[in-house]
Structure 1
Amino acid sequence: MTAEPRHPAHRPGRSARIEAEAAAWQVRIEGGPLDAGAGRALAIWLAGDPAAAEALADAEATWRELGRVAPPPAANDAAPWIGRRRLLGGLAAGLVLAAGLGAYGLGDPVTALIADYRTGPGERRSVRLPDGGQAELDSGTALALRYDGKRRAVELLAGEALFTAAPAAAAGGRPFLVRAAGGEAEALGTRFLVSLGAAATTVTVLEHRVAVSAPAAGGAAPRVVLAEGERVAYSAAVGLGPVARVTPDAVAPWREGRLVFDDVPLAEAVATLDRHRRDRILLLDPALAGRRVSGVFEIARLDGALEIIAAELDARRLALPPFATLLY
């Protein structure tokens, strides 16, 4: 079920900048009375743009809407209003962050600074690497080059990319490596996919072989060689997981304009959806994060996908464009 705020946080023709600033002012106002300096700053801000007053009124309405969807305080909460204020402040601060970064399509500013190649929400890109290899970047993906005289290394900073490695013989024998989340995939062939997820990093081989190593909790770095059609996941907590077989249709469906979720936690699906959307999806109910979802969705119609997922989980959905969509 979708709820719409009575006063939209976003209005056509109004800049994302003024809406983000209005949201920030609303968070500050709700934090307590403004001192004289802050009051003068607010007056100057309101006078500086004809759209400011309306944007602030809409930000206040959005705050009230958040108050209606926030869970009630626990029966033993000695200070329910303080708890509720903190909750709403955290939600609003999250919306401000989504407005400041998501509305401009910037993502993490640190990643943006160190990445050599990156894509924004809804953008896909194919880049030619310095050695003649190729990388296909999914939405919300960032890569940094780490080439030197001994190795051709690429660091996956965010998202998912499909790599076609140039032969080592043509690069002076230097191996081609992709590093992500402390692990490393070394090409022993040509094509493979690396996906940096919230809980684990996954390496999938499309052609020939790839050697994957990842440090385990004890400090060792076990290594496994994947053959064509095989996949392995690793994380800092458990190291390398078991090797699994995959079908070609299940690899990088975003190249065909689709997202495929096969019995994955909602938190993982949300992380993927967020890379393809300009606003952010916020889970207000922590119990929703572990619920399992499945489905095949067209990237061009992801609002419909979110509506279907919410209905299947019997969750409510509140759209607050351009900031976020809340699930609770």
Structure 2
Amino acid sequence: MSDMGTTSIEDSERQARAWLVHLTSGTATREDAEAFRRWCLSDEGHAEAFARTRRMWEDLGPAIARHDRPERSERVPPRHGVRMGRRMFLATAVGAAIAALFVGRHGMDLGVGGGDASRVRTAVGEQRRLEVVPGVTVEMNTATDIGLRGSGEAVTGMRLRGGEAVVRVDASRKAPFVVEIADARVVSVPGSSVAVRCIDSESAVTCLDGEAILSVGSTKTRVKPAQQVAFDDGGVAAAVAVNTDTALAWRNRVLIYDNQPLADVVADINRYRPGRIVITDRTLGERRVHARFTLDQMADVATLIEDAYGAHATHLPGGWVLLS
């Protein structure tokens, strides 16, 4: 569903209804969530129209539930099939559509998928640790996809297709281990631990121990402990100092945010839970956040944000939550 413009109150109301129907249809994607967020923020009338539509949607729930549940005194003859309430119907439809979408994108096997023994993936919210070759251990975070590279029977490296992972190379290993990210190569020397990340076309390398060499085109950058180098299609940024305990807290099943915009925090949290949390209010999204969540709190994180920042949350089927 693409971005929508607006020319009148009637148009805003119509577009708001269309967005609500689409978001509860079970076919909404991550791109749709971003398009919806931009639509809400592009015009105050859009957000107001959607708020009215959302309230109407919420108010209809009890009324339809009463309609679906006849009074005890009424004797309604049995009908063929089962009549589902509004929310149950939407939840079932959305759940099935999301499941189909997930299987279509990732395959049924959430570990080694597609019959390719060299490809390893984690599902949303899943973390995994494995020894890809003697002397090389990889810790995979949520929604991460890697492919092993080698020569003959020997594994010499891997490609990070998406997500993030920590690669530890034992000091006893004689050869370095190469990680490919987009058009870049990261060479981890024996005795090093390196975190690699590739999310939304933005990549980064963080060194924990030892050192790593990042090669992007003809540019080579030496990454030392507690340093991070980010890069994308626009080039390579300068190395910056980072607190690795904070940046890689996910290894302990914790997420730590220090003075970050709520919009960025929500975007990161969305990687750990099914569905999407969408902020529809610009001011709310710009609020700075100091927070610490455990991965066990992901099911309730929208409610925690709602309580902490006075936001209003609308919970839709399929794990979608609108914050305003």
TM-score tier, shorter chain, comes to 0.5 to 0.7
**Matching residue of 1:325:** 321
Partner of residue 237, structure 2: 241
Aligned equivalent of 1:156? 160
- Any gaps of 5 or more consecutive residues in structure 1? 1-26, 28-70, 215-219
Match of 2:146 among 134, 143, 147: 143
Question: How far apart are residue 103 of structure 1 and its match?
Answer: 5.2
Partner residue in 1 for 2:296: 300
Contact 1:284–1:327 (Cα < 8 Å) also in 2:
yes
**Residues 103 and 278, structure 1, Cα contact 8 Å, conserved in 2:** no
2:16 matched to 1:88? no
Match of 2:66 in 1: none
Deviation at 1:241, TM superposition (A): 1.5
SS at match of 1:161: strand
CA deviations 1:119-166 (Å, max 9, x no partner) are 223322111113541101112222111223698231222222111125
Structure 1 length normalisation: TM-score? Answer: 0.63
Alignment of 1:225-304 (within 5 A): 225-237=222-234, 239-285=235-281, 291-304=287-300
Provide, for residues 1-33 of structure 1, a one-character-per-residue CA deviation record: whole Å limited to 9, x for no partner.
Answer: xxxxxxxxxxxxxxxxxxxxxxxxxx9xxxxxx
Q: Please tell me the root mean square deviation across aligned C-alpha atoms, in Å.
A: 3.6
Q: Match for residue 195 of structure 2?
A: 193
Could you say which residue in structure 1 is the equivalent of 2:80? none
When residues 106 and 246 of structure 1 are mapped into structure 2, their CA distance, relative to the original with a 3 A threshold, is: same
Residues 30-109 of structure 1: matches in 2 within 5 Å? 74=6, 76=8, 79-80=11-12, 82-93=14-25, 99-100=95-96, 106=102, 109=105
Residue correspondences, number: 249
Q: Deviations 1:35-89 (Å, cap 9, x if unpaired)?
A: xxxxxxxxxxxxxxxxxxxxxxxxxxxxxxxxxxxx9x95636744553344334
Q: State yes or no: 1:309 paired with 2:312.
A: no
Aligned identity (percent) is: 24
| 1:11-30 alignment runs, 5 A limit | none
Q: What per-residue deviation string (whole Å, max 9, x for no partner) do you get for residues 180-239 of structure 1? A: 23332211242111122336222111110011133xxxxx542210111211111223x2
Give the whole-Å Cα distance in 2 for the aligned partners of 1:179 and 1:287. 39
The 8 Å contact of residues 262 and 285 in structure 2, kept in 1 or not, is answered as yes
1:232–1:255 distance in 2 versus 1, CA, 3 Å:
same
- The structure, 1 or 2, with the larger RCO (C-alpha pairs under 8 Å, 6+ apart) is 1
Conservation of the 8 A alpha-carbon contact between 2:27 and 2:98: no
Preserved CA contact (<8 Å) 2:169 2:193: yes
Give yes or no for contact 1:281–1:324 (8 Å, CA) kept in 2: yes
CA positional deviation for 1:254: 1.6
When the two structures are superposed, what TM-score results if normalisation uses the length of structure 2? 0.63
Change (3 A) 1:246 1:91: same
2:36 maps to which residue? Answer: none
- Other-structure match for 1:182: 183
Tell whether the 8 Å contact from 2:247 to 2:256 is kept in structure 1 after alignment. Answer: no
Q: Measured at CA, do residues 181 and 119 of structure 1 come closer, stay the same or move farther in structure 2, by a change above 3 Å?
A: same
Is 2:221 the partner of 1:224?
yes
Q: Which amino acid aligns with 1:295?
A: A
Q: 1:158 to 1:313 in 2, by over 3 A?
A: farther
Helix, strand or coil at the partner of 2:133: coil
The separation in 1 between residues aligned to 2:301 and 2:238, in whole angstroms, is: 31
Distance (Å, rounded) in 1 between the aligned partners of 2:301 and 2:10: 40
1:162–1:193 contact (8 Å) kept in structure 2: yes
Which of 103, 126, 146 aligns to 1:123? It is 126
3-state secondary structure, aligned to 2:296? helix
State whether residues 26 and 98 of structure 2, in contact with CA within 8 Å, keep that contact through their aligned partners in structure 1: no
Task: Write the letter of the residue equivalent to 2:275.
Answer: D
Q: Residue type of the partner of 2:291?
A: G
3-state SS, counterpart of residue 266 of structure 2: helix
Distance in 1 separating the partners of 2:289 and 2:201: 16
How far the C-alpha of 1:326 sits from its partner, in A, is: 2.0
Bigger shift: residues 293-302 or 275-284: 275-284
- Is the CA contact 2:26–2:97 (under 8 Å) kept in the aligned structure 1? no
8 A contact 2:27–2:97 mirrored in 1: no
SS in 2 for 1:206: strand
**Distance in 1, Cα, partners of 2:173 & 2:244:** 28
Given the superposition, is the C-alpha separation of residues 79 and 258 from structure 1 closer, same or farther in structure 2, using an over 3 Å criterion?
closer
Q: Give the aligned residue type for 2:197.
A: S
Opposite residue 123 of structure 1, the aligned amino acid is: E
